[in-house]
A and B are shown apart, each in its own frame.
Chain A
Amino acid sequence: MAAVSNPDAAADRPRHYEFPILGRAYFLGGRASTAVKAALSGAEIDEDTIQRVAIACYEAEMNVVLHGRSGYLTMDVYPDRILVAVLDQGPGIEDVELAQTPGWSSASEEARTLGFGAGMGLANIKQQADEMRLESTVGEGVQLYLTFVRRDENHG
């Protein structure tokens, strides 16, 4: 997993990470999120924040794996917050409002055999993140932007 980080960057610059996600590579699904969690675990960030980011990333990653052709996840760690973007190329989402309805799913039978596709992904992500923005162009892809406010008190 190729992770790019800049530990030496100036204190006010975020630490930046990028993780590729392969569409349809079912058995790799979750690799990027596992790497996200490992990156955060070594960075003195509180457990609650790590947990929320990791869960949201896992659900978002599985969305790319199950629906997209390819994509990537970027993460920027600031002293007070963590920004995550999950971008994919693929069929996109026709109705982004409908897609966020708990229980609504367009996943294949294959997705369900992996334990996903229950239509709870976006609802779960929304619950974990402090802010969520979902944009999509049909036939092009999906952009998901997430903000997590860090819960730890000694920021940085």
Chain B
Amino acid sequence: MTLAGALHIVKAETLVQADDEQLLLTGCFAADLMSDVLAFAHPGSLLLTGLTTDQTIRTATIKRVPAVLIVQGKQPGSEMLEAACEQGVGVYATPLSSYECSGLLMQAGLRPYRKQAPAEPAELVEGGRGGSE
């Protein structure tokens, strides 16, 4: 899914335009704790967050996250937007909650980035997992 496609799905308003909205996202990550973003987000993902300080932009820059989606109708201050312009990080805002955005984006096919496919719980897989290799 492209960044533009994801933004359309969550009815996002553009605050700072990303360098390339046609960029293909590697995944999506939602967190308000920047330590979690640093530890677990994947470069090239869209970041959903409610944190509207310039730390969000610094974290995105360090993690090579191309765009940040501010959820829940929050309005970031000018410092954050200036930092975003400086660093070339897109900033978008949506009235939807983090949970709603995640649900809509997942449904539309934007998967979380994973290094390996997650193991399916055995009892939910028809016929068990015998013989898989």
Contact = CB atoms under 8 A, between A and B. Distances in A.
Interface of A: 27, 29-31, 33-34, 37, 51, 54-55, 58-59, 113-116, 118, 120-121, 124, 127
B33 interface: yes
A115 B33 contact: yes
A130 B50 CA distance: 33
Given A55-B62, A58-B62, A124 B39 contact: yes
A51 B38 CA distance: 10
Contacts, number: 65
16 contacts: A27-B54, A27-B79, A30-B54, A30-B62, A34-B58, A34-B61, A51-B62, A51-B64, A54-B62, A114-B53, A115-B35, A115-B55, A116-B33, A118-B36, A120-B33, A127-B39
Contacts of A51: 43, 62-64
Contacts of B56: 115
Interface of B is mostly: helix
Contacts of A31: 58
B61 A116 contact: no
B64 A58 contact: no
Nearest to A123: B39
Q: Which of A29, A30, A54 has the most CB of B within 10 A?
A: A30
Given A27-B79, A29-B58, A54-B62, A124 B33 contact: no
Contacts of B87: 34
A120 B62 contact: no
A126 B29 CA distance: 22
Nearest to A57: B62
B35 A116 contact: yes
Given A27-B54, A127-B39, A115 B34 contact: yes
A37 B59 contact: no
Interface string B62-85: 111000000000000001000000
